[in-house]
Amino acid sequence: MRRTPHALRLLLAGVLSAAGFTAAVPPAHAAGEQVTAWLTTTDDAAGRHVTRGLQAQTPFAFQSGTGGGGENITVDENTRYQTFTGGGASFTDTAAWLMNSSGALS
Protein backbone atom coordinates (compact mmCIF):
# COMPACT_ATOMS: atom_id res chain seq x y z
CA MET A 1 0.00 0.00 0.00
CA ARG A 2 1.39 3.33 -1.06
CA ARG A 3 1.08 6.35 1.25
CA THR A 4 0.34 9.76 -0.16
CA PRO A 5 2.50 12.78 0.70
CA HIS A 6 -0.48 14.28 2.55
CA ALA A 7 -0.80 11.23 4.79
CA LEU A 8 2.95 11.25 5.49
CA ARG A 9 2.79 14.93 6.47
CA LEU A 10 -0.09 14.25 8.85
CA LEU A 11 1.77 11.31 10.37
CA LEU A 12 4.93 13.40 10.80
CA ALA A 13 2.96 16.27 12.36
CA GLY A 14 1.35 13.86 14.82
CA VAL A 15 4.66 12.31 15.83
CA LEU A 16 6.30 15.72 16.31
CA SER A 17 3.34 17.00 18.34
CA ALA A 18 3.43 13.96 20.60
CA ALA A 19 7.19 14.35 21.06
CA GLY A 20 6.73 18.01 21.97
CA PHE A 21 4.17 17.20 24.65
CA THR A 22 6.28 14.49 26.25
CA ALA A 23 9.53 16.51 26.14
CA ALA A 24 8.07 19.65 27.74
CA VAL A 25 9.49 20.36 31.19
CA PRO A 26 6.79 21.08 33.76
CA PRO A 27 7.13 24.36 35.69
CA ALA A 28 8.30 24.26 39.29
CA HIS A 29 5.65 24.87 41.91
CA ALA A 30 6.87 26.27 45.22
CA ALA A 31 3.56 27.63 46.54
CA GLY A 32 3.14 26.70 50.18
CA GLU A 33 6.82 25.87 50.80
CA GLN A 34 8.32 27.42 53.96
CA VAL A 35 11.02 30.11 53.61
CA THR A 36 13.44 30.97 56.41
CA ALA A 37 15.05 34.39 56.05
CA TRP A 38 17.96 35.95 57.93
CA LEU A 39 18.59 39.70 57.94
CA THR A 40 21.71 41.76 58.61
CA THR A 41 21.01 45.44 59.31
CA THR A 42 23.47 48.27 58.72
CA ASP A 43 23.21 51.98 59.52
CA ASP A 44 25.31 53.47 56.72
CA ALA A 45 24.66 53.74 52.98
CA ALA A 46 27.66 51.57 52.11
CA GLY A 47 26.48 48.77 54.38
CA ARG A 48 29.77 48.55 56.26
CA HIS A 49 28.62 49.27 59.82
CA VAL A 50 26.54 46.33 61.02
CA THR A 51 24.04 47.13 63.77
CA ARG A 52 22.35 43.70 63.89
CA GLY A 53 23.99 40.72 62.23
CA LEU A 54 22.12 37.64 60.96
CA GLN A 55 18.84 38.04 62.82
CA ALA A 56 16.30 35.29 62.12
CA GLN A 57 13.08 36.66 60.63
CA THR A 58 9.56 35.30 60.94
CA PRO A 59 9.26 32.38 58.49
CA PHE A 60 6.87 32.82 55.58
CA ALA A 61 5.61 30.65 52.74
CA PHE A 62 5.87 30.95 48.98
CA GLN A 63 2.64 32.00 47.29
CA SER A 64 1.82 31.81 43.62
CA GLY A 65 1.04 35.07 41.87
CA THR A 66 2.73 38.26 40.75
CA GLY A 67 3.84 39.50 44.14
CA GLY A 68 2.77 42.43 46.20
CA GLY A 69 3.94 44.68 48.97
CA GLY A 70 5.72 41.96 50.96
CA GLU A 71 8.73 39.84 50.17
CA ASN A 72 9.06 38.94 46.48
CA ILE A 73 11.39 36.12 45.49
CA THR A 74 11.83 35.34 41.81
CA VAL A 75 13.23 31.89 41.06
CA ASP A 76 14.70 31.25 37.62
CA GLU A 77 15.70 27.59 37.38
CA ASN A 78 17.62 28.30 34.16
CA THR A 79 20.09 30.64 35.91
CA ARG A 80 23.27 29.02 37.20
CA TYR A 81 25.93 30.64 39.35
CA GLN A 82 29.56 29.77 39.88
CA THR A 83 30.05 27.66 42.99
CA PHE A 84 32.32 28.87 45.76
CA THR A 85 33.91 26.14 47.84
CA GLY A 86 36.43 26.29 50.66
CA GLY A 87 35.92 29.78 52.11
CA GLY A 88 34.59 28.87 55.51
CA ALA A 89 36.06 30.59 58.55
CA SER A 90 39.17 31.61 56.62
CA PHE A 91 37.08 34.07 54.58
CA THR A 92 37.38 37.07 56.91
CA ASP A 93 35.28 40.22 56.95
CA THR A 94 38.21 42.09 55.41
CA ALA A 95 38.40 39.64 52.51
CA ALA A 96 34.63 39.95 52.04
CA TRP A 97 34.88 43.75 52.01
CA LEU A 98 37.74 43.64 49.47
CA MET A 99 35.86 41.24 47.21
CA ASN A 100 32.71 43.38 47.39
CA SER A 101 34.65 46.61 46.75
CA SER A 102 36.56 45.17 43.79
CA GLY A 103 33.42 44.89 41.68
CA ALA A 104 34.04 41.18 41.11
CA LEU A 105 30.57 40.37 42.42
CA SER A 106 28.68 42.54 39.94
Tell me the residue range of the domain where 58 lies.
Answer: 28-66
Q: How far is CA 74 from CA 18, 33, 66, 67, in A?
A: 31, 14, 10, 9
pTM beyond cutoff 0.85:
no
Note the pLDDT of residue 91. Answer: 72
Domain count, the chain: 1
Residue 101 lies in a domain: no
Distances (CA, A) of 35 to 19, 30, 41: 36, 10, 19
50 occurs within a structural domain: yes
Residue 33 in any domain: the answer is: yes
pLDDT of residue 5: 67
User: Do the domain assignments include residue 57?
Assistant: yes
> Residues 31-42: pLDDT tens digits?
788 888 888 888
Question: What pLDDT, in 10s, does the model give residues 44-74?
Answer: 888 788 888 888 899 988 777 766 666 666 7
pLDDT tops 80 at residue 26: no
Q: Is 32 in contact with 60 (CB distance < 8 Å)?
A: no
Query: Considering the domain boundaries, does residue 87 fall inside one?
Result: no
pLDDT of 63 reads: 74
* Residue 37 falls inside a structural domain: yes
Position 76 in a domain? no
pLDDT per residue as tens digits for the range 13-23? 666 666 555 55
